[in-house]
Amino acid sequence: MNTLGIIGGLGPMATAYFLELIVRMTAAERDQDHLPSITLNLPGIPDRTAYVFDHSLESPVPRLMAAAKTLEGLGACAIAVPCVTSHCFYEELAASVSIPWLNAVTETARTLKEEGVRRAGILATSGTVRTGLFQRALEEAGIGWEIPDERGQADVMHLIYQNVKAGKPVELPVFERVAASLRERGCEALILGCTELSLIKRDYPVGGDCLDVLEVLARAAVRQCGKALWPQWERLLGRERE
């Protein structure tokens, strides 16, 4: 039986929602039809964005590697990390184990290409934006991209760290302001490229053009582990809130 290994706690609420998405997406009619998983909830792993900007800080990589090897030893058939900024270290991390390490960034680019999107806006941490993760993946898929201006990026970080991670109400007008600026620049879809932004989509009406990377990763995990999806989850753009 295929078992998914999850490195969680980056952040904790996003991990809980990732597990919920897997359950909701899996075409299961009884408990026994669902996807087995093992979650290591490790909120103490050093902040990924902080390390991207300052390599004198503790690196999250050794602890992510150790967690992956633990999951592999427990019999996981694949690894998922519901934290987009951790993908800054993807190649190094994926090489540390012999089982697939799901890549939410490349899966997102593939999804946008399948949906016929020609230009996408990137909403993500400053660390993710700085490393060009989504930019490179989109270019390889033949998709144009835009990122927020300096004020808009500060707004995105405020939503992530001062709202969602801090457990405070989301300042939706701030999100709407950043989203509108990207749409005005020709973006046909907006990538919610941080799992904290996924929680905003979960709780607020953000628009059917917003592609949630956490949904992309959950769908990939279900497929990777050999489970079927409910038909309504085959497409992720244009979905109404449930």
Residues with a catalytic annotation lie at 83, 194
Angle, helix 133-140 to helix 104-114, in steps of 10 degrees: 40
Report whether 170 contacts 202 (CB < 8 A). Answer: no
Q: Provide φ and ψ at 205, rounded to 5°.
A: -80, 105
Q: Residue 214 is which amino acid?
A: L
Residue 191 buriedness (CB in 10 A; 0-12 / 13-18 / 19+): buried
Q: Which two tokens stand for residue 4?
A: 């998914």
Find the largest Cα–Cα distance for the chain: 50
Sign (positive or negative) of CA dihedral 155, 159, 160, 162: positive
Backbone angles phi, psi at 119, to 5 degrees: -150, 130
CA 48 to each of CA 19, 60, 81, 178, 187: distance values in angstroms, whole numbers, following the listed order: 21, 6, 12, 23, 27
